[in-house]
Amino acid sequence: MALVNHAKKEINAKIVYFGPAKSGKGTVLAYIYSRIKPYLRGELKSVPAGADNLLFFDFSPFETALPNGYRLRLHIYTLTGMVTNPATWKMTLKGTDGIIIMIDPTVINAAETSQSVAHLRDFLSAYGVGLHDTPAVLQLNSSTREILPDEVVQITAALDLSSLSTCLTNAANGEGVLEALTTLSRQILDRVTSGDESSVKIERMEPSGQKENSLQSEPPSDDSPKVKLLSREVIEEGGTIRIPLTIGEGGALRRLVVTVNVDLE
């Protein structure tokens, strides 16, 4: 789910490019990275994930803040080549906010494609998420020939993905690649801004500097701490102010004094 830090006005969303080997995932990520201005992107990293290879980077798709003052940062992940351990895909998909399903029907047979999508459904189901409940785009990628409209209809119907937005791309020259990512990004933003609390994780910054995460922003309950300022007992001595407070929590009452040093110059 998207991580929203209201204190910093940041929205962080995770996108995973999923698909079988030879579908063009690594090529697509390299192309996207090359098109982003350097000061808007993080480092493109390739690290071993067991016997497999994880490719990822993060970037901001906008140079200016969104209308509400928030900034969006996308974190892009994929596994390249032949994935030997299915559990690696499962871990990569954990917490994803959107998925681009990549298929090259000109080099990958129908049985392999169907099996890949079935595995994706299983991985998401393990986290209690359905594919049709997640922002997703089907990216039909081919660098050898044009994919005809009739093929698109047949492929989406066979995979039960007719409800998804479908983008035709050519990873070799980048045609349609950014459009597919933009389509998915809009779906994610729509979910975040619609107030769908199941897709948003709130990150609040506590005064101590520690982070407190919660699935949703809730009003204080009756058991929340009650703070009362004893204004008549505030003491000021030179550059020092002592503020007595009482804090009531769970039926217990506790008193403390907050000391503030003030620079008088």
pLDDT at site 206 = 37
What's the whole-number average pLDDT of the chain? 81
Range of the domain at 231: 220-265
Q: Are residues 171 and 256 in the same domain?
A: no
pLDDT at residue 213 above 80? no
Q: Are residues 189 and 225 in the same domain?
A: no
pLDDT at site 264 = 44
265 confidence band (pLDDT: 50, 70, 90): very low
3-state secondary structure of 20: coil
Note whether residue 211 is domain-resident. Answer: no
**Residue 204, burial from CB neighbour count under 10 angstroms (0-12, 13-18, 19+):** middle
245 confidence band (pLDDT: 50, 70, 90): low
Summarised one tens digit per residue, pLDDT across range 143-158 is: 888 899 999 999 999 9
**Residue 89, burial from CB neighbour count under 10 angstroms (0-12, 13-18, 19+):** buried
Measured in degrees and rounded to the nearest 5, phi and psi for residue 142 equal -150, 135
Q: Are residues 158 and 100 in the same domain?
A: yes
214 strand-pairing partners: 202
And the tokens for 91? 């871990």
Average pLDDT on 102-120 reads: 94
Lowest mean pLDDT among 37-41, 102-106, 142-146, 200-204: 200-204
Taking every pair of Cα atoms in the chain, the longest distance, rounded to a whole number of angstroms, is 83
164 confidence band (pLDDT: 50, 70, 90): very high
Decide: 206 and 212 in contact? Cβ < 8 Å: yes
3-state secondary structure of 157: helix
Q: Are residues 252 and 197 in the same domain?
A: no
61 confidence band (pLDDT: 50, 70, 90): confident
Q: Are residues 232 and 158 in the same domain?
A: no
3-state secondary structure of 226: strand
Q: Cα(227)–Cα(258) distance, rounded to whole angstroms?
A: 12
User: Of 175, 203, 231, which residue constitutes the final position of a domain?
Assistant: 203
Q: Are residues 8 and 59 in the same domain?
A: yes
250 confidence band (pLDDT: 50, 70, 90): low
Q: Cα(6)–Cα(200) distance, rounded to whole angstroms?
A: 12
Lowest mean pLDDT among 211-215, 240-244, 248-252: 211-215
Note whether residue 23 is domain-resident. Answer: yes
Q: What is the total count of domains within the chain?
A: 2
pLDDT at site 130 = 92
Average pLDDT on 180-199 reads: 80
Decide: 180 and 167 in contact? Cβ < 8 Å: yes
Q: What angle do CA 48, 116, 58 make, to 5 degrees?
A: 45
User: Of 169, 203, 237, which residue constitutes the final position of a domain?
Assistant: 203
Q: Are residues 106 and 24 in the same domain?
A: yes
Per the model's pLDDT, the better-predicted residue between 125 and 7 turns out to be: 125
Q: Are residues 121 and 183 in the same domain?
A: yes
Lowest mean pLDDT among 106-110, 169-173, 220-224: 220-224
Decide: 239 and 259 in contact? Cβ < 8 Å: no
DSSP symbol at 197: G
Q: Are residues 148 and 173 in the same domain?
A: yes
Q: Are residues 255 and 164 in the same domain?
A: no
pLDDT at site 238 = 54
